[in-house]
Structure 1
Amino acid sequence: MDPCAVSRINRRNVLDVAGLTALHTKRLDQMSASAALAISSSSAHYPGQVLAEANPDAERLGQAGEMLGLIDVALSEFTHPADRRGLAWDIRHFHQLTELVEHTPSPEHRRLAQSVFRLFGENVVPRLGGLETQVIHGDFSPYNVVVDPRTDHFVTGVIDFGDTVRSAVIFDPAVPMANLLGRTPEQPWRDACAFAADFQRERPIQVSELPLLPIAALARLTLRALITNWRAEHAPDRREYLLGHAKDDWINVELALAVSLNDVITHLREAPQGQSSRASSKQSAVFTRNRIGASSWPFPRCSSGRSTSRSTATAR
C-alpha cells in the first residue's frame, strides 16, 4: 500500500457524516443537556481550545472518551459508497506496511517496530475478518477535539472527519490511546486507559476483542513514527524536524512495551464494571513500568532495552 494514501475523502463525504451525526443529537447530548457537538473540518468556528493544549486530567480525558463513544453509537448504522476506501492510516492495514521499517534509520527503533508488527501479526491479523466493524471517525486525536475547560461538559466540538472509514470499532479508541501513551512516563498507559474506560461506558467493546485494544494502540503509534520517518527521507529540508517528532513517538512505544499488557487488559476489563476511569485511574500500580513477566499473558512479550522519561503528544 502506498504510504502517501492518507486522508482522502471529498467534501461531500464529510457533510454526509456530519448530517448523519446530527440525526443522533439526543444520543450525543446524553452527557449534558447543554452539550452541543460541533462537527467541521476546522476548529476556528467553535469556542475553546484543542484538547492537546488543555492539559486534561483523568476526568476530562474520560469525558473525551465518552464523546467518541457517543459518536460511534451515532455512526453505527451509517453507510456511504466511499466508506470502504483504502487508507494507510487505517490500523487494519498496519501489517501490510512492514516495508516502512526500512526507512527508519535507528536500529533500536527498527527493533521496536518489529516487536509491534509481531504482536499485531500474531494476535490481531488472524481476527481481522471477524472484528466488529462500522464507520468510525478514524482520527480522534488531541488536535481534533475542541474543548472548553470552563464548562462541565468540556467537549465543545469534534473536527476533521478526513480519515472517516469503515473499520474495526476497536481501532477508533486506539487512535487517541496512541496519542496518550507515555504522557505520564512512569505510568505510560494510565491516561490511555482512562480514555478507553469511559469510551466503553458509551460504546462497549466486545469482551473477546478487548485484549486487542492495547496492541492496536501500539500499532497506531508505531505507524505514525514509521510514516514520519518515511516523510523525513522524502523531505530533506524538514528531515531534522520530522525525525525529532518520530523520536518522541519511539520513546513512548518503548515506554508502553515495558508494561505488562496483562495488567493493562485487567484494568480495561474492570474499569467499566464499576466506577469510571475518573476514580479508577488512581490505581497506579497496574501502570508501573518494567513488569514484563509479572503474570501470564497469551500474547508474546516484548521487552524494551532501556528506560526513558520523555513523552509528548504530537499531531495525528
Structure 2
Amino acid sequence: MINNAAARVLGAELETGAIAVPPDQAERIALDHYGLTGKVEWLWGEKDSNYRLTLEDGTGYLLKILNPAEDPNVTSMHSKALLHVEAMDPGIPVQRIIRTKEGAADFRFVADDGGERGVRMVTFVPGMAQRTASHSPLQREKIGVLLGRMQKALKSFSHEAASHRITWDMTHAMGMRDLLPAFTDARERARLEKAINDFEAEIVPVIGALPAQVIHNDFNMENILVDPDRPDDVTGIIDFGDMVFAPNLFDVGVAAAYQIGAEAEPVEAMCDLIRGYRSQCTLSDAEIDLVYTAAVMRLVMRLAIPQWRAKLFPEDAERFTIRSASVWEQLARLDAIPKSQAIDRLRAADR
C-alpha cells in the first residue's frame, strides 16, 4: 500500500507509467509528420514511449512519444535546450533535433487511446553506454569536462518551464522521507534516513544561496555514450528529460554519484570527474564541501524512487529495481571511508 504522502513526492511524469504507442501508429507519425518511411523498434523508457526508426538506407532516428502527463511547456523546453546547446557549443555531442515537415521542433498529437501526447524526433548518436564499457580515470575526467561545457552552454538558456517540479530534482529531496516505508529492512531505512538528515542539515539551509541555472541533471552511465574501440572518448550525451533550474552543485553531485560505478576507490572516481569539471567551471569552497552530501543524496534517490515505483507498478518492479543492489554496494564503499577524509580529497582535486 502506498500512502498519500508518498504519492505527493513523485511528479506526475513518474506516477504515470510508460504507455506504449502501437508500432504501426509510430510509423504513421514518422511518415505523416516527418516524411520518413522506415521500421520502428520499441525501446524501453522509464516514462516515455521510445522507438528507434530505421530507414531503408540504415539511417536511424529516435522517435520519442512523450508521457501523457508531461506538460507541453516542458516538452518545448527540452527541445529548445537541445537547439540551444547545439548553437552555443556545437562540439558537445548531443542529439540533433529533426524538425517536422512544418519546421517544428516538436508537436502534439492524439494517440489511438484518446490521450494527447508530445512527439520529438532526434538523431541517434554513435557509441555504447558508458555502463557497459571499460572505465578509466581519463574517461571520467573527460566526462567532467563535458559536464562543465554543458553547464556553460546552458548558462544563457532560459525557459518558462525551467522551474517545473520533477521527482529527480534534488531541490525537493526531503520528500524522499515519505518513500522510506517502501523499504521493509529497518537497517536500510535507517541508512537512508541518515543521508536525508545530513542533506537537510548541510544543504537545505544554503540552497537559495548556491549558484543556479538550468542543468542537465542526469549525467548517468546510460546517458553517456563512449566509443566502443576507444572507451576513453565520449561520443554522446543524451536524454534531457530531467532538466530543471537548480543549483549547479546538484549537476556535479549527480554526475559524481554515477561515476562511482564499481570502482574500489569511490572517492577517487569522483575526484576524476571533479578534475575535468573544474577545468571548465569554478566550484567555490562552499560548493566543493557539499559535493559528497549531494552525491550520497543521489544514491538515496536512486534507491527510494525505484522502490516506490516498483510498489506502484509491480508488473515492472524488476526493471525499476535492477540497479538497486549495485547502488547499495556503492553506498557501502563510500561508508567505508570517513566522510571528512572524502571531503578533503574532493577539495584537493585538481589543486
Question: Which TM class, normalised by the smaller chain length?
Answer: 0.7 to 0.9
> 1:189 offset after TM fit, Å?
2.1
1:2 aligns with 2:39: no
Q: 2:287 matched to which residue of 1?
A: 209
Distance 1:245 1:221, change over 3 A: same
Whether the 8 Å contact between 1:42 and 1:160 is mirrored in structure 2 is no
- Read off the aligned partner of 2:94 and give its amino acid letter: A
1:51 aligns with 2:130: yes
In structure 1, C-alpha distance between the alignment counterparts of 2:313 and 2:76, rounded to whole Å: 31
User: Which of 100, 113, 118 in structure 1 is aligned with 2:197?
Assistant: 118
Secondary structure of the residue that 2:290 maps to in structure 1? Answer: helix
Distance 1:51 1:44, change over 3 A: farther
**Equivalent residue runs for 1:193-272 within 5 Å:** 193-239=271-317, 242-272=320-350
Q: 1:13 matched to which residue of 2?
A: 77
- Read off the aligned partner of 1:147 and give its amino acid letter: V
**Equivalent residue runs for 1:147-186 within 5 Å:** 147-150=226-229, 154-181=233-260, 183-185=262-264
Q: Deviations over 1:25-62 (max 9, x none)?
A: 2xx64xxxxxx522358997222212112222010111
Q: 1:138 matched to which residue of 2?
A: 217
Whether the 8 Å contact between 2:11 and 2:165 is mirrored in structure 1 is no
Whether the 8 Å contact between 1:112 and 1:253 is mirrored in structure 2 is no
Q: Deviations over 1:165-218 (max 9, x none)?
A: 100001012112222335224x22221221122112111212211111110010
> 1:160 offset after TM fit, Å?
0.6
Secondary structure of the residue that 2:225 maps to in structure 1? Answer: strand
In structure 1, C-alpha distance between the alignment counterparts of 2:285 and 2:278, rounded to whole Å: 11
1:98 aligns with 2:105: no
In structure 1, C-alpha distance between the alignment counterparts of 2:12 and 2:176, rounded to whole Å: 12
Distance 1:106 1:238, change over 3 A: farther
Q: 1:297 matched to which residue of 2?
A: none
User: Which of 139, 148, 153 in structure 2 is aligned with 1:74?
Assistant: 153
In structure 1, C-alpha distance between the alignment counterparts of 2:243 and 2:316, rounded to whole Å: 28
Distance 1:15 1:91, change over 3 A: same
Whether the 8 Å contact between 2:139 and 2:231 is mirrored in structure 1 is no
Mean CA deviation greater in 171-180 or 142-151 = 142-151
Q: Deviations over 1:77-115 (max 9, x none)?
A: 211000000111011111133111111111111011011
> 1:153 offset after TM fit, Å?
7.5
Distance 1:243 1:143, change over 3 A: closer
Distance 1:262 1:42, change over 3 A: farther
TM-score by length of 2: 0.69
Question: What's the C-alpha RMSD, in Å, of the aligned pairs?
Answer: 2.3
Mean CA deviation greater in 3-12 or 191-200 = 3-12
Percent identity of paired positions between Structure 1 and Structure 2: 25
Mean CA deviation greater in 244-253 or 124-133 = 244-253
* Unmatched tracts of structure 1, length 5 or more: 30-35, 274-316
In structure 2, C-alpha distance between the alignment counterparts of 1:158 and 1:22, rounded to whole Å: 12
Distance 1:4 1:237, change over 3 A: same
The structure that has the greater radius of gyration is 2
- Read off the aligned partner of 2:10 and give its amino acid letter: P
Whether the 8 Å contact between 2:253 and 2:295 is mirrored in structure 1 is yes
Whether the 8 Å contact between 1:182 and 1:255 is mirrored in structure 2 is no
In structure 2, C-alpha distance between the alignment counterparts of 1:134 and 1:168, rounded to whole Å: 6
The structure with the greater share of residues assigned to strand is 2
Distance 1:92 1:191, change over 3 A: same
In structure 2, C-alpha distance between the alignment counterparts of 1:214 and 1:67, rounded to whole Å: 20
In structure 1, C-alpha distance between the alignment counterparts of 2:81 and 2:213, rounded to whole Å: 13
In structure 2, C-alpha distance between the alignment counterparts of 1:252 and 1:270, rounded to whole Å: 22
In structure 1, C-alpha distance between the alignment counterparts of 2:334 and 2:180, rounded to whole Å: 19
Whether the 8 Å contact between 1:65 and 1:198 is mirrored in structure 2 is yes
In structure 1, C-alpha distance between the alignment counterparts of 2:121 and 2:218, rounded to whole Å: 14
